[in-house]
Structure 1
Amino acid sequence: MAQTVTAAYESEEAARNAVDELISDGYDQEKVFLDKENIQVKVMVPDSGQREAEEILKRHSPKDVWARPVQ
């Protein structure tokens, strides 16, 4: 099963930095999304990759991070 890990940020710059780090760490660009309106980063990962994705997102000081199963 896959998870969508989402992080909400205070600034678009922090969100962009998180996206850049995810992509530079090898995450598929097609599975990483920047929601500019809500200032959120979403990344689809297998269950085994959830922890690593959350750690990367947390490095950029999000307001909140959560995961939900991909539907």
Structure 2
Amino acid sequence: MSKAISGKFQNIDQARNVREDLMGSEIPQELIYIDEEEQMIRVMLPEEQSREVKEIYDRHGITY
């Protein structure tokens, strides 16, 4: 079952860098959502893959 792994970013460049790292980790682009108005990034993945996403969030200073 998929779950949203959400994080808050400071600026759009930070969100774009996170998206690039996520895609570099073979997470499909269509599972990555950036909401510029709310400054949120969300990834829809099964729970067992959330650790990898959180590691990328941590590396870029994304709070979740």
Give the structure-1-normalised TM-score: 0.82
Tell me which protein shows more helix as a share of its residues: 2
Please tell me the root mean square deviation across aligned C-alpha atoms, in Å.
1.0
Query: How many residues are matched?
Result: 64
Structure 1's unaligned 5+ residue stretches are 66-71
Give identity over the alignment, percent.
28
Structure 2's unaligned 5+ residue stretches are none
Tell me which protein shows more strand as a share of its residues: 1
Which of structure 1's runs of 4+ aligned residues deviate more than 6 A?
none
1:31-66 deviations in Å (ceiling 9; x for gaps): 01111111211101111101111111121112x21x
Work out the CA distance in 1 between the residues paired with 2:17 and 2:33.
12
Give the structure-2-normalised TM-score: 0.90
